[in-house]
Amino acid sequence: MRKSQETEFAIQVVNMSKQFKIYYDKPSTLKERLVFWNKTKRENRTVLKNININIQKGETVALIGTNGSGKSTLLKLMTKIIYPTKGEIVTTGKLTSLLELGAGFHPDFTGRENIYFNAAIFGLTKKEIDARIDDIIVFSELEEFIDNPVRTYSSGMYMRLAFSVAINVDAEVLLIDEILAVGDQHFQEKCFKKLEELRDSDKTIVIVTHSLDVVKSLCKRAIWIYNGEVRLDGQPDSVIKEYLQECK
C-alpha cells in the first residue's frame, strides 16, 4: 500500500477479523481452579469476519445493525482499545472517542479535575486545557456542579461532560457509540448541531446509532454490519431501506 494512497484515508480496515474466548463453567474459587484446572470449557467466538472498510478523511459514516451484530466491537477496534485477531486497522490523524459513558472519569474527583485528566489523555497540554476549559464547562451546562465529585452526577451529566471534552480537543477523527441516546432532548439537539458543525468542518466522524433519523440527517454513508460481516455499504437511504426490509 503506497503512502500517497494511505493519506487519503482516516481509517483503513484491512482483512480484519476479531475473535473472543468465551469460557463456560469457569471456576470461581481457588479450590475449583486447582481441581478443575484442565476442565474449563472454552469457545473461540468470531465476532467480526474479514472486514474491509476505507473511510476517507472528512467522511461522516454510520455503523448500523441489530444488537450483537459487531458494530460496537468494530468501533472499539478503531480506537485500539482492543486489537484484531487477524488483519489490521490503520488510523491517520488525532483521534478521540465517546464509547462508554464516563469512561476515564474518576468518581472521587470533581468535574473540573476530570476535564484536565481527560483532555490530557487526548494529548492537550495544561496550557491548552486552560485556554478552553471555560468553553468546555459552558457547553456542558454544568457550571453549578463542575466542582462537585462526578460520582454525584447523573448519567445525563456524565454524558454532557464527556461530550464537551471530546469535541474540544481538536481531534481529526471522532468515534461515537450511541452516547447521544443519553440525556434530555435539549442537550441531544445541542450535541447534534455540534456534530453537524464538525461534519461541515471536514472532521471524520464514525457513529454507531440505532436512530435511523440521525443516520439520514447527519451521515453521508452508512455501513450495515450483519452477523459480524459488512452486509451493505452505501448511501444512507438505500442501506436503511434494505436494513428495514431485513428486520421485518
CA-to-CA dists, residue 32 to 23, 42, 222, 235, angstroms: 15, 16, 48, 53
> pLDDT confidence of 63, banded at 50, 70, 90?
very high
Q: Does the pTM exceed 0.75?
A: yes
Residue 30 has pLDDT above 90, yes or no: no
| Structure confidence at residue 2 (pLDDT) | 40
Residue 142 has pLDDT above 60, yes or no: yes
Buried b (16+ CB within 10 A) or exposed e, 213-244: ebbeebbebbbbbbebbbbbeeebeebbeebe
Residue 133 CA neighbour count, 13 Å, CB half? 20
Determine the average pLDDT of the residues in 161-183: 85
| Structure confidence at residue 8 (pLDDT) | 86
The kind and range of the H/E element at 9 are strand 9-24
Cα–Cα distance between 186 and 169 in angstroms, integer? 23
Cα–Cα distance between 58 and 199 in angstroms, integer? 7
Cα–Cα distance between 187 and 197 in angstroms, integer? 15
> pLDDT confidence of 28, banded at 50, 70, 90?
low
